Amino acid sequence: MSHKIVTRFAPSPTGHLHIGGVRTALFSYLYARQNKGTFILRIEDTDKERSKKEYEDSILASFEWLGLNYDELHRQSENTEKYKVYLHKLVDEGKAYISKEEKKEEGDRDSVIRFKNPNKDVTFNDHVLGQITVDTTDLGDFIIAKDFDNPIFHFANVVDDHEMNVTHIIRGQEHASNTPRQILLWEALSLEIPEYAHIPLILAEDKTKMSKRAGALNVFEYKEMGYLPEAILNFMSLIGWNPGGEQEIFSMTELVEKFSIDRIQKSPGVFNMIKLDWINKEYLKKMPYENQEEYMIKFIPENFTKKSQYTSEKLHSIVPIVMERISKGCEITEMAEAGELTYLFENPNINKDILLSQIKKQLKDTDNVGLETKTKEILNKIIELLTNLDENSWENEMIKTTLWDYATDAGRGIVLWPMRYALSGLEKSPDPFILSQIFGKNETISRIKKAIETLN
């Protein structure tokens, strides 16, 4: 076997790249990079009926978006002549034969090429599962090609892996049952057998098979939801692999350094959406402000640009308060559609009872007339204090300093609640100092005055 490590990931272009496939590709990529080896992407497109160019393009685009840079790109459909050579070799040596088949259904073939099974025990050492021995007798004389132009999966894989000098085959445990067949073929062709590592299945959080609801989506569905490629790779690396220690956020450089086949677990890994969201949020926090703004704009509905108080400057200023509330971009869209961002771009609707509610609670007063008078007094005092604050000093901390002594003396809940509600029209919103900075002096005072009008 070559001393240079060569790994491969071999998807079929019969669908988009599935999130589970990302982990297999990632582990193969990490092992190759760690050993300064070669990582190959091989498109297994021998299924002519189901393989589609659009899916191949989607797979390639997924790799580009994820940043998994392959060293070589191959397509099985380009290797037909090589398969013929090896098929003829097996048939000529009596290790395979053309088998006449009984046609059970219309469209069935009347002949195929079968491998002459030596009916022996096959033993191989798997880097994850340990030593495995299988009696291959039950496999019978299995089919390796429909004809000399159409090899099937097991045979094409063996030829490709040999021709591409693959040294380590890292793939899902569901493929472990294919390995004995392929080892028989390796031996029959007198080729050196690569090393195998069958990585664990990925299960939903309830330990059942993954479904769409439990995360079984393709790469671009995750992209559309606003997950970052770095977050997806970081998250997928931790399913079934234990790096040791408490660290959970890894750069690609760190993953390459720390990855070890020996630390891949045998038992199934669990796809935890809450953890994925947490990791994605950590990466969003690390984004430069400009990148956060660009990210946020992708998920703000287009109709927001038509709202009465929309400006690009205001959009720029709300980045922190929006980003701190989300773990993925689609939540921005959800917030917008639920009306939770509308107040930022147009005057809110003020409900008098809600405006009075906190003061009512704190003063334990049931006299609405008295509460209205008290609330007007508070809001007018806020306007008076803010009016005296120079516009050049109009920023969050200065606004807070201007109001803080009054709020402390009168009661912070009594002062800051009606101010915040007057600005947002929401019972839960960012603090009033941040909102005031975003809206600017004139708009802040105007909104507070409109709230007072609801009490008249």
Measured in degrees and rounded to the nearest 5, phi and psi for residue 130 equal 85, -160
Report the distance separating Cα 111 and Cα 105, nearest Å: 14
Q: Say if residues 152 and 144 touch (Cβ distance below 8 Å).
A: yes
Cβ-based neighbours of 351, under 8 Å, separated by 6 or more: 425
Helices (H) and strands (E) in the chain, counts: 18, 13
Paired tokens of 160? 């490709």
Which pTM does this prediction carry? 0.90
pLDDT per residue, tens digit, the chain (456 aa), is 457 999 999 999 999 999 999 999 999 999 999 999 999 999 999 887 888 999 999 999 999 999 999 999 999 999 999 999 999 999 999 999 999 998 888 778 899 999 999 999 999 999 999 999 999 999 999 999 999 999 998 999 999 999 999 999 999 999 999 999 999 999 999 999 999 999 999 998 888 887 766 677 899 999 999 999 999 999 999 999 988 888 999 999 999 999 999 899 999 999 999 999 999 999 999 999 999 999 999 999 999 888 888 899 999 999 999 999 999 999 999 999 998 999 999 999 999 988 888 777 777 666 666 888 889 999 999 999 999 999 999 999 999 999 999 999 998 888 999 999 999 999 888 999 999 999 999 999 999 999 999 988
Q: Which of 357, 324, 182, 200 is nearest to 263 (CA)?
A: 200
